[in-house]
């Protein structure tokens, strides 16, 4: 799916190159993530973390009157609401800037391609966006397995990889020179979850996760948080990506008689597990992390979602007492007043605003190297009160984690369970 482009986007990969990239994607998808797993290295043919500053020698995607960004994300399949809402937020931020004359006289355009949350498609899309569309930067990739496959392709081309919608630890490796993370990590979210549960006196904690690099990233975060408290999960359930096949996971969880279940998955399988467990009379505390897609989860669960907790990495999206949220609501209303505010589109809006900061700081002489240097090594970023601080060996801007709970189909902010 293409939303806007300056040029036609046509497949340009040779057969051998495509096969090599897909093989790389499949290999990295099966790798472990985080401190205990493998991390891309400079010896990998498809690219990885680089030594030294970025060496971009061109300003691809920069035109006299516009700058072109690219996005590969899920616009079909079980994770499609995440991709659609990330795109919505980015487009709202870009439209807001364009209404005010763009950035240094250049309009901001976005071309989006559907990868259906599959790593192989993410590789193909990323190569198309870089080689055929000639984008300046990539923004708003959705998911850990897709980012794991796409990020090395972007690194090899020295193209900025901005605000992926994932908290996976491998993207926070301090050797990357082209990745700009906006949000807190999954390790930070899961630490907050385990801390809140144990503060409540819950010590029988189980984990259900998606059987891929995303699920394992969150699962490892839970294990580390439990290990710090000399605890282990009482049960583990897992399900295949892009399915709602959670019955086996539910049976495995029941064997451990948990008090609480931490879920690391997309909204459809998470909702399915909650519905089945409650249908069977289980009164577990359900907690999941931000990637779930909060609005989509609430819609899936309907009135059956009361008491489900979700950690968030952006402020409450209707709290217009916060200047950044007021700006987001104004921009969203102007761009598409039919859309409902949500955590994911707010994160997309923040991603777009972060990209705009880099463009503003570089002026008319815009290059990828300048863009990355101004964000990662420049002054802290203040987006209407939402603070982002990068620095040496730190490509993550925010450490914020917020807790919300579903009640009557709506999210409410809370500070305890």
Residue 41 has pLDDT above 90, yes or no: no
Give the architecture-level CATH label for domain 186-316+402-414: 3-Layer(aba) Sandwich (3.40)
pLDDT digits (tens, 9 = 90+) for 332-387: 999 999 999 999 999 999 999 999 999 999 999 999 999 999 999 999 999 999 99
As a whole number, mean pLDDT of residues 232-241 equals 96
CA–centroid distance for 9 within its chain: 24
Binned at pLDDT 50, 70 and 90, residue 78 comes out as confident
Q: List strand residue ranges (DSSP E) for 131-194, in order.
A: 137-139, 161-162, 179-180
Q: Which CA distances in Å does 91 have to 126, 158, 237, 332? A: 19, 24, 37, 9
CA atoms within 13 A on the CB side of 230: 0
Measured CA to CA, the distance from residue 331 to residue 95 in angstroms comes to 8
3-state secondary structure labels for all residues of 186-229: HHHHHHHHHHHHHHCCCCCEEEEEECCHHHHHHHHHHHHHHHCC
Measured CA to CA, the distance from residue 109 to residue 217 in angstroms comes to 32
Binned at pLDDT 50, 70 and 90, residue 312 comes out as very high
Average pLDDT, rounded, for the chain: 88
The gap between the terminal CA atoms of the chain, to the nearest Å, is 41
Measured CA to CA, the distance from residue 238 to residue 269 in angstroms comes to 10
Residue 308 has pLDDT above 60, yes or no: yes
As a whole number, mean pLDDT of residues 27-56 equals 38
| Residue matched to tokens 């931000």 | 290
Ramachandran assignment for 61, one of left (phi > 0), alpha (psi -120 to 50 degrees), beta (any other): left
Residue 31 has pLDDT above 80, yes or no: no
Predicted model pTM? 0.84
Measured CA to CA, the distance from residue 78 to residue 311 in angstroms comes to 20
Binned at pLDDT 50, 70 and 90, residue 400 comes out as very high
Measured CA to CA, the distance from residue 358 to residue 156 in angstroms comes to 21
Contact predicate 351/137, CB 8 Å = no
The domains of the chain are located at 15-184+323-388, 186-316+402-414
Domains 15-184+323-388 and 186-316+402-414 share a fold: yes
Tokens of 96: 């807001």
DSSP class of 64: S
Q: Which of 33, 59, 94 is nearest to 351 (CA)?
A: 94
Superfamily of domain 15-184+323-388: Response regulator (3.40.50.2300)
pLDDT digits (tens, 9 = 90+) for 156-207: 999 999 999 999 999 999 899 999 999 999 999 999 999 999 999 999 999 9
Q: Which of 251, 248, 262, 254 is nearest to 205 (CA)?
A: 262
Tokens of 147: 């980012």
Q: Which CA distances in Å does 87 have to 117, 389, 399? A: 14, 24, 23
Among 102-116, 131-145, 249-263, 403-417, the least confident range: 403-417
Ramachandran assignment for 101, one of left (phi > 0), alpha (psi -120 to 50 degrees), beta (any other): left
Q: Which of 93, 62, 90 is nearest to 3 (CA)?
A: 90
């Amino acid at each position: 799916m293409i939303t806007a482009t300056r040029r036609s986007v046509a497949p340009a990969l040779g057969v051998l190159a495509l096969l090599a990239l897909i093989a790389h994607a499949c290999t990295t998808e099966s790798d472990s993530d985080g401190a205990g797993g493998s991390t891309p290295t400079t010896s990998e043919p498809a690219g990885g973390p680089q030594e030294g500053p970025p060496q971009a020698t061109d300003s691809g995607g920069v035109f006299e009157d516009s700058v072109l960004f690219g996005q590969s994300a899920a616009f079909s399949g079980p994770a499609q609401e995440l991709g659609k809402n990330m795109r919505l937020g980015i487009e709202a931020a870009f439209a807001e800037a364009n209404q005010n004359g763009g950035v240094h006289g250049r309009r901001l355009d976005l071309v989006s391609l559907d990868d259906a949350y599959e790593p192989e498609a993410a590789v193909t899309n990323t190569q198309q966006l870089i080689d055929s569309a000639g984008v300046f930067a990539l923004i708003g990739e959705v998911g850990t397995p897709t980012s794991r496959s796409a990020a090395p392709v972007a690194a090899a081309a020295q193209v900025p990889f901005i605000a992926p919608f994932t908290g996976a630890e491998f993207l926070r490796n301090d050797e990357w020179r082209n990745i700009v993370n906006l949000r807190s990590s999954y390790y930070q979210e899961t630490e907050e979850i385990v801390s809140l549960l144990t503060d409540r006196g819950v010590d029988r904690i189980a984990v259900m996760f998606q059987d891929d690099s995303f699920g394992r990233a969150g699962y490892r975060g839970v294990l580390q948080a439990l290990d710090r408290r000399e605890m282990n999960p009482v049960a583990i359930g897992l399900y295949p990506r892009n399915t709602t096949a959670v019955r086996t996971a539910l049976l495995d969880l029941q064997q451990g008689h948990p008090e609480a279940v931490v879920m690391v998955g997309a909204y459809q399988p998470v909702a399915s597990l909650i519905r089945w467990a409650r249908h069977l009379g289980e009164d577990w505390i359900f907690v999941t992390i931000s990637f779930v897609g909060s609005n989509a989860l609430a819609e899936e669960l309907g009135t059956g979602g009361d008491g489900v907790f979700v950690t968030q990495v952006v402020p409450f999206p209707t709290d217009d007492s916060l200047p950044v949220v007021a700006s987001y609501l104004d921009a969203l209303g102007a761009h598409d007043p039919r859309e409902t505010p949500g955590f994911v589109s707010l994160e997309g809006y923040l991603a777009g605003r972060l990209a705009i900061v880099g463009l503003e700081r570089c002026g008319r002489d815009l290059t990828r190297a300048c863009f990355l240097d101004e964000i990662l090594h420049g002054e802290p970023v203040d987006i209407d009160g939402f603070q982002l601080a990068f620095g040496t060996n730190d490509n993550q801007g925010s450490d914020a984690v917020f807790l919300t709970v579903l009640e009557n189909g709506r999210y409410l902010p809370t500070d305890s369970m």
